[in-house]
Each structure stands twice: as C-alpha cells, then as structure tokens.
Chain A
Amino acid sequence: MSLVSSLIEQAIHRTALRPWPGLAVDADTWRAATLGLGAGEVSLVALWAGDAGTVHMALRDPADGQSVVLSLATTDGTFPSVGLTHPPALRPERVIRELHGLVPEGCPDDRDWLDQGRWGVRHPLGAATAVAADGDAYAFRAAEGVPMHQIAVGPVHAGIIEPGHFRFTANGEHVVRLEERLGYVHKGVDSLLRGASIVDGARLAARVSGDSTVAYSIAYARAVEAALGLAIPERAVWLRALMAELERIANHLGDIGAICNDAAFAMMLAHCGVLREQVLRAAKATFGHRLMMDRVIPGGVAVDLTDAAPIRKLVAAIRSAFPALISLYDNSASLQNRTVSTGTLDAGLARQYAVGGPVGRASGLTFDARKAPGYAPYPDLVFNIPVRESGDVDGRVWIRIDEVNESLGLIDQILTRLPSGPIAVALPTASEPSEGVALAEAFRGDVMAWVKLGADGRLAAAHLRDASVFQWPLLEAVIENNIVADFPLCNKSFNCSYSGHDL
C-alpha cells in the first residue's frame, strides 16, 4: 500500500477540503508523513499554517500524482518538525514559527527567516506581541578553511531586479558557500488575505508575483471555485489557458534574452525583448492589460475575446523570428561556453525538493501541473512537457525554448476550438465553511493556492505557495564550485521570484 493510501486510512476524519482529500491527522500520523518525505516516498507540495493553530502539509505521491493535505490541530502550540527529516521543509517551517508562533519541535534551524526584527511585532499571525523594530542580527553559516573571504551582495542589486541578500564565501574565484537571506519584500500577504472578501483576495493573489499574475489568479480562482463547488463556463476555462500561455511565452522570452545577456550576449536580449514586447502588446489589444492582471477572476474571466487577430498575428511573428534566434543561441560557441556545464543541478537533489518548472524539468523531473494532476482545458489539448537531463544553465535555456514552441501550439489549438457562451458566473453569497486547493502551472513552476472560506463567505485563511520556495535553496547548491562571475548566470537561469517567496 502506498504511503498516501495509508495516510488516508489513518486520518481522524476528512476535512471540508476539495478537490484533494483533506485529512485531519494526529501528531503520530504527521510524523509518519515526515518520515515518508525523508525516505522519498512522497513529495512535499507545501507546508503552511492556517487559522486557529492548525498546520497543513500538502503531499503528492510521485508515482500516481495523487495529492492530499494533512491538517494537524496543534494543542500546545507545537508540531513535529518536518525539516528534521526533510530539508526542503526547513524554510516553510521557519516561516510558520515566526509568523504564527507555532513551534516545529526538533527543527534543526532556530533562526528566523522572513522576520528581520523590523516589523515591530512578533508572530503577527499568532499572538502578535509588540516589540522594538530595531532589526535583528542574522547568523550566516560559517565556512572554514584558509584563505576564504566573504562577498556580501544586496539587498539593493546592480540590475533592475528584486531585493535579496546573497552571502558568498569564496576561495579566490571559486564559491565555497552561498547563503541566501530573503524576506526583504515580505508584505504580509497571508495576514491581508485573512478576513478579506473573495474579490479583494483575488486582487492580492494577482499581485503576489507580478510576472505570474495570470497563473496566480488561476490558482486562486480555482481554489475558491473548488471550495464553493462552483462550475465555471467552458469559454472562461479556455480563455484562462490562452492568457496563461501568453504569459508563459512572454516570460520565457524575457528569461532567454536575460540569461544570454548575463553572459554578455546582449543581442539575444535585444531580439527576445522585441518579441516579448509584441506579446505584451497583443495581450493589451486583446484583454486590455499588458500583463493581463485581474483578467482572471473567481467565477470566470473579466474580459471576453472579441478579436483573435492580434494573437494570431503574434503567433505568426514569433514563429517566423524565433527559429533564427534559437540557432543563434545554439551556434554561438562563446555563449555555449558560458552556459553548458555551468550551475548543474543534481537530479537527486531536484527530486528531493520536488522542484517544479524549468529548473526541475532540466534535471529530469517530468512534473508539470498542467499534465498531473492536470486541469481543464489541458487534458483536452495536445502538448509535450519538454524534459532534459543535463541540469545546467544550458538545459534550463532549452526547456524554455521548447516550452515557447509548445505554448505556441497550445494557443493555436485554443483559438481553433474556443467554445462560445458566457465568460463568468456570479459567485454564490454566504455559504457554509469550506476549503479549496488548486495548482496552476506558472512559467516558473507550479503555484499552489489554498483557501478556507468562513460562513460569511469571506476568507478565514488563505495561503499561496510559489514554485520559488523550493527553487531558492537549490540555487545555493548549484553555485558550489562555480566561479563568482557565473552566479548571475545561474541566478537568472533559475529566475526565482523574491516577492512570491517572501509573500
């Protein structure tokens, strides 16, 4: 019997969660799950705390894709540490501890993660005690040996990127250790979602990570719809996918250009930048917003497609310009020299972290939320999930190139088969308490949304989990033994979200 099935059997009772089984468990079952994670029998999808001192752990069976959410009601403010047996859980666990004041017993890392001692409050989602906001010191891990030196980078970086701090310990040019310190863009999203209306929650979800606004809106809307048991019109489902694929193409084009630019190959950025701009203009012409923010709403979509011509023209333009760019990438030895075998992510680590997106798929993982668990309309569409084994910067570039081509094919199919009819249904007013969870595949990996609705129809609690949560720690791993100058390249090839991680 698989671990997931045995967890389902051991549950005290089923929670109100839809569509995955929601299992109320005791500490022993929780512990069994942490051991299963450590042994690689299940993958960690997310770890977070909801309301009333309850901690949740979403798991996926890597064999059949079956997902469950374990919910443990803490009685004394503690829960068995997951990070003790499964390192990917360490940061989410530290976040639970500092935001909610719930203690992971046995957690090997007692440092705060997002809390830098500047909020003026401790445990803002728990007891919320006021404290001085004069900032905490942070104990970076030491690296021993001579001669070592440290390089501190950030939070304000040289480029137009988000803020975060990187502490390198180097031996000459070689990076011996990289440690990240994040949390600079923590905006308290979980606390703002608490008690918000479904509509206000949607506006927040769309602004967790601006580059993935469509994917976040889809994940959030599907979680709300699952909780309410609401079926939305077919046309809305297909329009959502159309927007999601446009977003994927725009971001992949931006990333391909930016990665090459970090290898001082600016021409690629210039040409990819032109194509990316054309995607955003087609989005504006079709849906009225360049990033398509707030166009996906709970219940459907906010704007209908009246004229598909700009998108058809865009697809044709990319199809005609992109192949030459691909061969430019493939045939420039100076560029390949920088990307091939740089920043290699080991397949075993990728599997342990169940890392999504191009980062995982360049290291042999096949997971893509559009295929497994899969959500409408993707099971009706023909497309491949590109997978590579090399795990290096080059592999991650190629996954993006291949995905641009797959997404162009998806857009063709969507435009040809787009159903007619209404684009949204009204949300039912007050309902009974319910819970919903959903995944959506953003360009950088799967986004998970979990919502708990109260009897008043508002959000009692909600949580959004970016793919970056499990990608950031791996960036620390891939830079080891590379030279300092290759860090920007490794970092860009991951392109993790700071805002999506910090929430």
Chain B
Amino acid sequence: MRTFLLKGLFGRPLTEAAPKVDASELEELATLLGDTARRKLGRSLSIREVDAGSCNGCELEIHALNNAYYDLERFGLRFVASPRHADVLLVTGPVTRNMKEALERTYAATPAPKWVVAVGDCGVNCGVFKGSYAVAGSVADVIPVDVSIPGCPPEPTALLKGLIALIDANER
C-alpha cells in the first residue's frame, strides 16, 4: 500500500493534455447555451449518465473518462448519482420503449438550466436498432438534445472534446 501511495505522490501523472476543440464547433455551442449557464454555473458542470437502451459499449468509454489518462474531473466535470444534482444529462441510446418514461422522468427531475448530450450512434440515430418494435427513437425523439457525440462507441477523446466544448461555450 505504501509503495503505491509513494509512487502516486512522486511519479509523473499519466494524465494527458486535453484535446483541442474546433473553433466553429465552439461558436455553435456558445450560441446554443447562451450566457445563463456562465452566470449560474461558471466552469463546473455535474453530469448524470443515463443508459436509455445502449449495448453498454458507450458506458465502457464513458467510464474510461474517469481513468488517470483522461481524468475528467480536472475540467470541473464530474459524474453525480442523481439527476437532481445534475446540470447535464449524458444519454446513450437507442431509447427503448421500456426506458422512454424513465428518461422523461429523469429529464423532468433535472433542475434548469440543463443540457442534454446524446452519446453514440444509437443515441444519435438508433444505429443498428433502427426500426425495431421495442425502440422509441433517438434521444432527440424523446427529450431536447443540445450536443451530439456520434461514434460506435465514441472514444474517450471524442467524449472529452464534446464535453469540453460544452463548458468552454458555457464560459463565453
């Protein structure tokens, strides 16, 4: 145990530099978010993850955001346990019919101002599950979406870029 703690104290961190976010992407987001967010929240956002029907591939990569390489918390972004503590809902899909009401209720339980990020190809357009009797639609078909991060699953850097864009735009 002591070895681990000492190594942690004196070793070089594994954490990597933040990915660059495209200026035009930022501009677009800034307009979207307006300045309410900046006034109310500054640079800190609390995220509630909601799996509304994913295959769990997206969850694995969202988990990876917390590992030492990506260290999401250094950006003031952190995952919280309840929608009532959240500013951002990070939603993976496709939204199944059995999860639709739970997602709607989670959205309703999140205090305003709030943003929704749709994650993964399925969250964005239902992916390979399009057309199933059990699928209600993409995330945007069920609740209003502010940012989309496609990919199957999106890599942690893509997720990080999308989320940093959200706080940077939030700052303007």
Contacts and interface: CB of A to CB of B under 8 A. Distances in A.
Nearest to B127: A207
Contact of A156 (B50, B55, B60, B68): B50
B69 A191 contact: no
Interface in A224-281: 254, 267, 270-271, 273-274, 276-277, 280
Interface in B89-115: 94, 96-102, 106
Contacts of A62: none
B64 A280 contact: yes
20 contacts: A159-B81, A160-B49, A161-B59, A162-B51, A162-B54, A163-B52, A163-B102, A184-B98, A185-B98, A186-B96, A187-B132, A188-B134, A192-B131, A204-B128, A208-B55, A210-B60, A271-B4, A274-B68, A324-B3, A499-B56
Interface string B20-43: 000000000000000000000000
Say which size band chain A's interface belongs to: 35 or more
Given A158-B81, A192-B131, A276 B67 contact: yes
A293 interface: yes
A162 B63 CA distance: 12
B140 interface: no
B132 A191 contact: yes
B134 A187 contact: yes
B133 A210 contact: no
Interface in A268-324: 270-271, 273-274, 276-277, 280, 284, 290-291, 293, 324
Contacts of A191: 132-134
Q: Chain B's interface: helix, strand, loop or mixed, by majority?
A: mixed
B76 interface: no
Nearest to B105: A156
Nearest to B97: A118
Interface string A327-339: 0100110000000
Contacts of A344: none
B133 A328 contact: no
A8 B56 CA distance: 40
A184 B3 contact: no
Contact of B69 (A162, A188, A277, A290): A277
B128 A192 contact: yes
Interface residues of B, number: 48
B134 to A, nearest CB: 4
A200 to B, nearest CB: 8
A293 B121 CA distance: 14
Interface stretch (A51-59, A119-127, A477-485): A119-127
B67 to A, nearest CB: 4
Q: Chain A's interface: helix, strand, loop or mixed, by majority?
A: loop
A209 interface: yes
A162 B94 contact: no
A185 B53 contact: yes
Contacts of A273: 64, 66-68
A444 to B, nearest CB: 11
B98 A211 contact: no
Contacts of A267: 1, 4
Given A133-B97, A160-B59, A210-B56, 15 more contacts: A118-B97, A119-B97, A124-B133, A156-B83, A160-B79, A163-B51, A184-B99, A191-B134, A192-B132, A204-B128, A207-B128, A210-B58, A274-B68, A276-B67, A280-B64
Nearest to B152: A293
Contacts of B94: 187
A499 B56 CA distance: 7
A254 B56 CA distance: 14
B153 interface: yes
A267 B155 CA distance: 24
Report which residue of A114, A183, A188, A207 has the largest number of chain B beta carbons within 10 angstroms of its beta carbon. A207
B134 A498 contact: no
A315 to B, nearest CB: 19
A119 B134 contact: yes
B55 A203 contact: no
B79 A187 contact: no
A328 B134 contact: no
Contacts of A413: none
B6 interface: no
Interface string A191-210: 11000000010011001111
A209 B55 contact: yes
A197 B102 CA distance: 33
A497 interface: yes
Contact of A160 (B62, B133, B153, B155): B62
Report which residue of B98, B99, B131, B155 has the largest number of chain A beta carbons within 10 angstroms of its beta carbon. B98
